[in-house]
Amino acid sequence: MKDDGKNNYNIFKPIPNSSGIERLTLEHSIRKALQLDEFVLYYQPQIDIQTGDIIGTEALVRWNHPTLGLIPPAKFIPIAEETGLIVPLGEWVLKSACIQNQIWKEKGFPPMGISVNLSSRQFSKYDLVETIKEILLETHIDPQYLELEITESMTMNVDVAIEVLGKLKELGMQICIDDFGTGYSNLYYLKLFSIDRLKIDQSFVRNIMTDSHDADIVATIIAMAHKLGIDVIAEGVETKDQLDFLRSQNCHKVQGFYYHPPLPAEHIEQLLMKTVA
């Protein structure tokens, strides 16, 4: 299941009902935007709540449109996935995120992870491994700091996915299941793939203080992750109460507006300078 993409962007109308013509126009615009280098990455800090340190960031793409301004991914990722443009766009995201993470390292900040979202469309292509190998060579990023976030989806070809994942693991990367709890065969996937981390979906985190069911689900996912020796992070943490609940359940890594929204690279650097100082 995908996010509704509401967040802070509800000024934009959702795309699903757009006509064929609109889709074609949008496809053409995305292609052009790639050529004109109009996409930008924002980075959302991931926090170790025991130390308060930024332990990594998640790269989240936006379209910096010359007249419409900053367009959120919910407006163009679905079309990019449908048209296959997610492959070149995803490659741009991967490479740019690795370059940025290396820039931070070269500036002397403590090494931290960079998480990149992969759509299942990218994931079920064998070339992904070659593409990533090239990016590792070109950017010199240490693969242990590169985390790939994948979501389970019905469209994923499991055999291809197992093989691709195996090769990516051999290269030394981290694999995280994003939106954990919302997909199709979560537990089955845990058995099939060697997963390093689970990211608890924000739809559960949102209600932990009001819905005891959701609180139980979150607590159970955390306990299961611990038992299986898999790292766990919660996303969409917005309040102190949510944070305290997660802490009480021994989930010590979080991402969310309570700490920081996704931010431009320069802004991340200011935050890093504060923590180093």
Q: Which residues of the chain form contacts with Ca ion (CB under 5 A)?
A: 3, 117, 149, 178-179
CA dist., res. 121 & res. 111, Å (int): 30
- Work out whether 115 is an interface residue with ligand C2E (CB under 6 A): no
Are 242 and 208 in contact, with CB atoms under 8 Å apart? Answer: yes
Of residues 20-59, which lie at the interface with ligand C2E (CB under 6 A)? Answer: 44
Counting contacts by CB under 6 A, is residue 90 touching ligand C2E? yes
Residues 6+ apart with CB under 8 A from 116: 58, 59, 93, 94, 97, 146, 147, 148, 149
Give residues 154-193 in contact with ligand C2E (rule: CB under 6 A). 178-179
Closest to Ca ion by CB, 10 or 25: 10
Q: Output the smallest distance, CB 116 to Ca ion, in A.
A: 9
Q: Is 202 in the site for ligand C2E (CB under 6 A)?
A: yes
Residue 91 binds ligand C2E, judged by CB under 6 A: no
In the Cβ-directed half-sphere of 131, how many Cα atoms lie within 13 Å? 19
* Residues 225, 139: Cα–Cα separation, whole Å: 32
> Are 81 and 119 within 8 A, CB to CB?
yes
Least separation in angstroms between residue 217's CB and ligand C2E is: 17
Catalog residues that contact ligand C2E under the rule CB under 6 A. Answer: 2-3, 5, 7, 44, 60-61, 72-74, 77, 86, 90, 93, 117, 119, 178-179, 202, 235-238, 255-257, 262
